[in-house]
Amino acid sequence: MRKKSVYPYWALLPALLIFTLFAVVPLIGSLIFSFSDWNISRFYTPQFRGITNYISLLSDSVFLHSLWNTFLFAVCTTALKTAAGLALALLLVRRIPANNLLRTVFYAPCVLSVTVVGVLFKAILSKTGLLNNALTAIGIMSTTDWLAHYGTAMGAVVLIESWMWAGFNMFIFISGLQAVPKDYYEYASIEGASAREKFRYVTLPLIVPSFTVVITLGISGGLKVFDIIYVITNGGPGFDTQVLSTYVYQSFSLGYLGESAAGSVILCLIVTLVSFLLNKLLVNKEVEA
Amino acid sequence: MSRKEKNINRIIFIVLAILAVIVMVPVVMMVLGSFKTQAEASQFNLALPTEFHPENYLYVLKKGKILNGYKNSLLITIPAAFFSIIFGALAGIVLSRRQTKLTESIYYYFIFGLTITLQTASTFALFKVLNIYGTFFSIICLFVAIRLPFTVMTFSSFVKSVPRDIDEAAIIDGCSFLQMVFRVLLPVMKPILVTNIVVSAIDIWNNFMIPLFFFGSSKKWTVSLTIYNFFGQYSREWQYVFGALTLTILPMLILFLFLQKYIVEGMVAGAVKG
């Protein structure tokens, strides 16, 4: 007879039940209802409509534009956050005065709530905001309303998101850099490697795991972005800075539940696929120290 | 350190210090602005206030319902973080300690949850059908479900580094499974416990999307929502908006400064484990 295990299966139940009911069931619901004419007036009596919702989404120029914006946002913020985080980390692993204080300041923005950050930057980027005041003070007359044009609005949101998370990535890179054994650098010095060669052939290959974390988190978080866009531009001007999450929310609040569900399914598919592929790709590049 | 290296470090320090000042500009503008008159606050500059108006804060506290927002945020954050960690730890420990086909599949079932995005429309319908729409209960359940994949994953990978002898000793001493988890394993796994507390609390506290989508009544709004709405109503009176923002940020910044070590280590460890 098999001995009864010390680790009972019932301990899995609370987690399994809640996760299934509130995360998996809605996903299955979205899949099913995305093929129906589900809307607020036929809330309990949706009818099967085939792939009509998907077709109408993919032929909606606002949806396609929001799809493009989503990828643009994810890629640009990831690139900026990664580059800025790595630069800060490389500078702050040195013995700089007030090292800890500087790290704290760069890290702090990411614990702030996005709403607060959003409202603050509205004050900075408006027509009479801090940025224009500062530009005028140094002699460049500027009355641009930074959030009223697609290019500057998108750029602003990307920069703000990077401002928030660069310090977080800095810490991930610092812990990666500190794990590189010191004698590798000494050995490279003996071999006559220059500072640049040391970085290229010693540091970079050994901090690939940090890149894996930073890039995967950045891309998947960027694809899911909602609040910073909603608070700062609300998808505007017009629908110019709309991303997938805000699009889904908008069609939800207009009562087009079937279309909203189809949008959610598309977003979820993209995030799952991209995170999976990215992780595979990056993990393959990792080497043993 | 050589002289040359010292000089380089000094230059780097100056550059980084300037950068740090720039990073702090929004916060400085906010704190200064909260003490100004309406006219001065809406000039959006970094000048010191000519008249000092601390009573702006009294107005904000009275009108802004910030304290109510705090109460609601706590009512959601504490139970949601607590239950996601307890249920996640129990599941993570069992999944990692019992190596069977079944536990492996269940583990991947949870991991898949890491990439699930919020299904707005059908979650709304689910709440309606269960007749819990607009309640704290529904929001807490949703947060627990969203946090669980992460807690399950981190506990399950961390418990691998805890020797099984500890479990066996506890059982021989007459512990039940639950006693073993709460009296022996969780104390040993303090680092990952702290990570999860920090990451969950910040994530849930700062979440804007879920309360926005699924709370109809403004009585239940969290801090983030309250602030956003306050800005909508008072968008011409920036001295009050700045005051409200300061009241929102301040407790978090103070908490951050005191718990900095745990927060930074917790969030970074969380990311690396994730």
What beta strand segments (E) does chain A contain?
none
Domain-embedded: residue B77: yes
- Contact criterion met (CB below 8 Å) for B43 and B57: no
Instruction: Give CA B16 to chain center in angstroms.
Output: 28
Single-letter code of the amino acid located at A117? V
Segments of chain B with pLDDT less than 50: none
pLDDT for B150 equals 92
Question: Is B53 domain-assigned?
Answer: no
End-to-end CA distance of chain A: 46
Contact A249 B120 (CB under 8 A): yes
ipTM above 0.85, yes or no: yes
Check if B254 contacts A (Cβ < 8 Å). no
Q: How many H-runs (helices) and E-runs (strands) does chain B carry? A: 15, 0
Give CA torsion, residues B100, B102, B108, B112, to 10 deg. -170
Is there a contact between A73 and A158 (Cβ–Cβ < 8 Å)? yes
- Inform me whether the pLDDT recorded for A164 exceeds 70: yes
**Is A164 within 8 Å of A112 (Cβ atoms)?**
yes
Question: Pick from B46, B116, B245: which is nearest to A116 by CB?
Answer: B245
pLDDT in tens, A153-163: 999 999 999 99
Identify whether A209 is preceded by a cis peptide bond (ω within 30 of 0): no
Contact in structure between A100 and B5 (CB atoms under 8 Å): no
Residue B103 gets which letter from DSSP? H
Residue A1 pLDDT more than 70? no
Q: For residue B162, is it within any domain?
A: yes
CATH code, domain carrying B105: 1.10.3720.10
Q: Is residue B60 part of a domain?
A: no
Indicate the average pLDDT of chain A.
90
Q: Domains along chain A?
A: 54-284 (1.10.3720.10)
Name the residue among A23, A123, A261 with its Cβ closest to that of B146. A23
3-state secondary structure of B272: helix
Confidence band (pLDDT; 50, 70, 90) for A24?
very high
Residues of B within 8 A of A33 (CB-CB) are 121-122, 125
Burial of A224 per CB tally in 10 Å (0-12, 13-18, 19+): buried
Q: How far apart are CA A105 and CA A164, in angstroms?
A: 11
Taking CA atoms, A133 is separated from A155, A184, B42, in Å, by 19, 50, 11
Bridge partners of A48, per DSSP, are: A36
Indicate the pLDDT class of residue A5, thresholds 50, 70 and 90.
confident
Contact A125, A146 (CB under 8 A): yes
Contact B126 A26 (CB under 8 A): yes
Q: Please answer yes or no on whether A96 and B13 come within 8 Å at the CB atom.
A: yes
Whether pLDDT at A3 is above 70: no
Q: Is residue B90 in some structural domain?
A: yes
Q: Report the candidate in A228, A224, A40, A30 with the shortest Cα–Cα distance to residue B119.
A: A30
Residue A162's CB is within 10 A of a number of other CB atoms, namely: 22
Task: For A75-118, write each residue's pLDDT tens digit.
Answer: 999 999 999 999 999 999 988 888 889 998 998 888 888 899 99
Which residues does chain A have within 8 Å of residue B145's beta carbon, measured at their own beta carbons? Answer: 18-19, 21-23
With 90 as the cut, is the pLDDT of residue A74 above it?
yes
Residue A237 banded pLDDT, cuts 50, 70, 90 = confident
Mean pLDDT of A127-142: 84
Nearest CB to A130 within list B44, B114, B180: B44
Give the 3-state secondary structure of residue B261. helix
A93 interfacial to chain B (CB closer than 8 Å):
no
B245 touches chain A (CB under 8 A): yes
Mean pLDDT of A152-176: 93
Q: For chain B, what is the domain count?
A: 1
Select from B259, B29, B253 the least CA-distant residue to A110.
Answer: B253
At A282, the pLDDT band (50, 70, 90 cuts) reads confident
How far apart are the C-alpha atoms of A49 and A37, rounded to whole Å? 6
Residue A48's SS3 state is strand
Distances from the Cα of B67 to the Cαs of A127, B248, B256, in angstroms?
32, 9, 20
First-to-last C-alpha distance (Å) of chain B: 38
Q: C-alpha distances in angstroms, B261 versus A96, A109, A217, B158, B171?
A: 19, 16, 22, 20, 35
**Both tokens of residue A144?**
């641009």
CB-based contact B115 A276, cutoff 8 Å? yes
Judge whether B260 is closer than 8 Å to chain A, CB to CB. Answer: yes
Q: What is the pLDDT of residue A179?
A: 85
Q: Is B49 a domain residue?
A: no
Distance CA A269, CA A30 (A): 12
Residue A4: pLDDT band (50, 70, 90) is: low
Instruction: Using a CB–CB cutoff of 8 Å, tell me whether B166 touches chain A.
Output: no
In a domain, B221, yes or no: yes
Contacts of B87 (CB under 8 A, 6+ apart): A14, A15, A18, B144, B148, B151
Q: What is the pTM of this model?
A: 0.91
- Judged by DSSP in three states, A36 sits in strand
Coil, strand or helix at A105: helix
Q: How far is A244 from chain B (nearest CA, A)?
A: 11
d(CA A15, CA B153): 12
CB contact under 8 A, A15 and B148: yes
Q: How far is CA A286 from the centre of its chain?
A: 23
Neighbours of A194 (CB within 10 A): 10
Contact between A188 and A129 (Cβ < 8 Å):
no
Helices (H), chain B: 3-33, 38-41, 55-64, 66-97, 101-112, 120-129, 136-158, 164-172, 177-179, 186-188, 190-206, 209-214, 223-233, 238-258, 260-273
Can you tell me the distance from the alpha carbon of B153 to that of A268, in angstroms, rounded to the nearest whole number?
20
* Chain-centroid distance, C-alpha B221: 16
Q: What angle do CA A193, A199, A202 make, to 5 degrees?
A: 80
A38 touches chain B (CB under 8 A): yes
CB B183 within 8 A of CB B170: yes
Closest CA to B80 of B156, B145, B154: B145
What does the pLDDT read at residue B269?
75
Domain range for B105 is: 65-233
B175 is a domain residue: yes
Q: Which residue of B has its CA nearest to A173?
A: B268
